[in-house]
Chain A
Amino acid sequence: MAKTLFDKIWDSHVVSDLGNGFVLLHIDRVLLHDLSGARALRESLENGYVPPHPNLIAATPDHAISTMPGRTEETFAPGAPLLRDLRANAARTGIRLFDIGQDGNGIVHVVGPEQGLTLPGTTLVCGDSHTCTHGGMGALAFGIGASELGHVLATQTLVQRKPKRMRVFFEGPLAPGVTPKDMILHLIGELGTAAGTGYAVEYAGSAVRALSAEGRLTLCNLTIEMGARMGMVAPDDVTYDYLHSRDYAPKGALWDHAVAHWKTLPSDPDAEFDREHTVDMARVAPQITWGTSPEHVIAVDRAVPDPETGPEDKREAWRAALSYQGLEPGQPIEGTRVDWVFIGSCTNSRLSDLRAAAEVAKGRHKAPHVTAWIVPGSERVKKQAEAEGLDRVFRDAGFEWREPGCSMCIASNGERVGPGQRSVSTSNRNFVGRQGPGARTHLASPAMAAAAAIKGAIADVRKL
């Protein structure tokens, strides 16, 4: 019977059929961070459960550490006990920890692929909703809560109900200024934040095949903002070239064995999906969010929508969003003054993202009233960017060059946008208070964010 990429990975990981649609699913990779991961590992040990396969688990602090240059674990004091706890319990159980300052440290969803821990055809979980990012490598990866994480740590399995299958085609070439971030924001704008609820999503089509491995990670990263826990791209030569010779990827004969398996994974030509949708890339322009949900998104050359002419069931939410964001219906979004620019997060902090932002920043200077931060996704990204001189480009343009971590995407380490201040951010959530109480967030690509820093206002990168 013809199968999808998702079905092939799911079905081959079923340890037991538990009935009523539930299965016991084997989990090949577990990633821990310093909030949910440290907590779940501690609770697990307190309950007397020792992870039976610590080799399949890796940990990295990212959420509750400062990204200030010269930082130590004490710089953000409330996070220090979490890291010490994670460090001690990782050592006790034999779990690999990528500590601050070491190669391999960084945002968990940057580190997994970068280190070759994330592999096609594997199941991967983390106590973090953006675990869908790893689907860009052709893995079946999804976020879970602390209790489910405790279950995985104790048993290397998870009780799950099989989701439905959705496939989204992106067809056609990317127009100038359009990036993977714009593709996925545009899709969420078309379908809404709940369209993917209950689905595993596969991204396909000529525009997806043409993306770099890092671009596919960005695309999959925002799958949860469409409501789906899992987003995937079928592995191909782009994936293999990216993973080849990475630290924890298989080597030699094992590599050949793995690639032979990976080549069997793409969806069969006649495989059936429960829902399909096609995005015509000719209609995708650089995107920017205007409201407080990722579905509140428009092309940068459009006007802020008017709730009174919007869909009836959305009007109240739109009014509340505009009031929170301090925007007027009908005003062009371009030219809206901004106070902060944040380039980083598990969405857009990889080397290709920093290159794209640097291309815009090069030879220019940020507007005087803007504070602009570059927070590389990992220690390795930081080193590679510095080797290319990107840090110098950013510094010369008046941007701050910082240490890796989640930082202002989630503001759990004290790094915040102030109340009423406006930020253009390359992260994934523009929720009320996400970047700090009262903070106003506009999501965009790295190039768009850099353009906003230069102009001191929301800007169309194509016009720079």
Chain B
Amino acid sequence: MEKFTKVTGVAAPLMRENVDTDLIIRIERLVSNTGRQGLGPYCFEQIRRLPDGSENPDCILNQAPYRDAPIILSADNFGCGSSREGAVWALAGMGVKAVIAPSYGDIFFNNCFQNGILPVKLPLAEVQLLADEMKASPGNARITVDLETCQVVSPTGRVIAFEVDARRQHAMLNGLDDIAQTLSRKDEIEAWQAADRAARPWVWL
């Protein structure tokens, strides 16, 4: 897993609810691209591009200073919809390190932690305030997201605490590999399976 400790940079306010994973990455990009890299140019293409393929100047992600922002601010239910991890790979490919929103699609939320992108949960009013502070000082405003202290520092220096599962925080700070950790419990898994074969033989094909 990719490590994440802290990011400081511009935060792009994409203040709409229900940003779904289809909007983040179109499915056909995951048919033709079988790796995890190279999806950045297609991230949010339905709003970043016009139907003729040219750049949409009205999209905030194409405007200075928000282009290439490492942080995205959004409203409720960010990453809802499909399980496609390509949504997270596309965000990573675009240079995004953290998202700040009130709530997330459950599967997307889990996928973020597998890829070193930190999904921070803050109340909508707080996210809106961060967006307002960003817009009040375009070009100069920066936000810091610190996983060690579990704090967001706003452009005006306000410090906002957020919560994260201790297990996930530890894994992300240290870039731990889930599979290797689980395989260290191989004996436990096999003991469970042996008991289950006796108790529920009908499960075992």
Mark A123-151 against chain B: 1 for CB-CB distance below 8 A, else 0: 00001110100000000000111111011
Choose the segment among A179-187, A270-278, A364-372, A425-433 that binds chain B (4+ C-beta atoms closer than 8 Å).
A425-433
Find out whether the CB atom of B179 lies under 8 angstroms from the CB atom of A151. yes
Find out whether the CB atom of A127 lies under 8 angstroms from the CB atom of B51. no
A122, A147, A228 interface centre (most CB from chain B within 10 Å) = A147
Q: Which of A159, A258, A414 contacts B202 (CB 8 A)?
A: A258
Find out whether the CB atom of A151 lies under 8 angstroms from the CB atom of B182. yes
Find out whether the CB atom of A19 lies under 8 angstroms from the CB atom of B22. no
Find out whether the CB atom of B165 lies under 8 angstroms from the CB atom of A64. no
Instruction: Please report the C-alpha to C-alpha distance between residue A143 and residue B87 in the assembled complex, in whole angstroms.
Output: 15
If the complex has contacts A227-B105, A316-B16, A411-B27, are A119 and B202 also in contact, measured as CB distance less than 8 A?
yes
**Is B174 engaged at the interface, CB distance under 8 Å to the other chain?**
no
Instruction: Please report the C-alpha to C-alpha distance between residue A121 and residue B183 in the assembled complex, in whole angstroms.
Output: 25
Q: Which residues of A contact B189 (CB under 8 A)?
A: 15, 24, 26, 155-157
Find out whether the CB atom of A193 lies under 8 angstroms from the CB atom of B114. no
Find out whether the CB atom of B167 lies under 8 angstroms from the CB atom of A19. yes
Smallest CB–CB gap between B201 and chain A, Å?
A: 6
Choose the segment among A247-255, A329-337, A339-347, A348-356 that binds chain B (4+ C-beta atoms closer than 8 Å).
A247-255
Mark A149-166 against chain B: 1 for CB-CB distance below 8 A, else 0: 011001111010101000
Smallest CB–CB gap between A275 and chain B, Å?
A: 15
Find out whether the CB atom of B16 lies under 8 angstroms from the CB atom of A257. no
Find out whether the CB atom of B22 lies under 8 angstroms from the CB atom of A227. no
Instruction: Please report the C-alpha to C-alpha distance between residue A144 and residue B183 in the assembled complex, in whole angstroms.
Output: 19
User: Quick one: closest B residue to A229, CB to CB?
Assistant: B106
Smallest CB–CB gap between A248 and chain B, Å?
A: 6
Q: Which of B34, B83, B165, B179 contacts A49 (CB 8 A)?
A: B179
User: Quick one: closest A residue to B186, CB to CB?
Assistant: A155
**Is A87 engaged at the interface, CB distance under 8 Å to the other chain?**
no
Q: Which residues of A contact B27 (CB under 8 A)?
A: 35, 63, 410-412
Q: Which of A18, A36, A122 contacts B83 (CB 8 A)?
A: A36
**Is A175 engaged at the interface, CB distance under 8 Å to the other chain?**
no
Q: Which of A143, A145, A155 contacts B182 (CB 8 A)?
A: A155
Instruction: Please report the C-alpha to C-alpha distance between residue A414 and residue B76 in the assembled complex, in whole angstroms.
Output: 31
Mark B5-16 against chain A: 1 for CB-CB distance below 8 A, else 0: 000000000001
Find out whether the CB atom of A21 lies under 8 angstroms from the CB atom of B165. yes
Find out whether the CB atom of A432 lies under 8 angstroms from the CB atom of B22. yes
B20, B26, B82, B108 interface centre (most CB from chain A within 10 Å) = B82
If the complex has contacts A56-B205, A433-B46, A434-B22, are A143 and B31 also in contact, measured as CB distance less than 8 A?
no
If the complex has contacts A55-B205, A156-B189, A194-B76, are A79 and B23 also in contact, measured as CB distance less than 8 A?
no
Instruction: Please report the C-alpha to C-alpha distance between residue A60 and residue B105 in the assembled complex, in whole angstroms.
Output: 26
Contact residues of A between 46 and 60, Cβ < 8 Å to B? 47, 49, 55-56
**Is B193 engaged at the interface, CB distance under 8 Å to the other chain?**
yes
If the complex has contacts A194-B103, A227-B105, are A35 and B83 also in contact, measured as CB distance less than 8 A?
no
**Is A389 engaged at the interface, CB distance under 8 Å to the other chain?**
no
- Show the binding face of B for A, using Cβ within 8 Å: 16-18, 20, 22-23, 26-28, 30-32, 34, 46, 51, 76-77, 80-85, 88, 103-108, 110-111, 114-115, 165-167, 178-179, 182-183, 185, 188-189, 192-193, 196, 200-205
* Known contacts A26-B196, A432-B20, then 6 further A-B pairs from the complex at CB < 8 Å, ordered by chain A residue: A20-B167, A129-B81, A154-B179, A194-B80, A227-B106, A432-B23
Selected A-B contacts with CB under 8 Å, 7 pairs: A15-B192, A26-B189, A56-B204, A144-B107, A145-B84, A193-B77, A411-B27
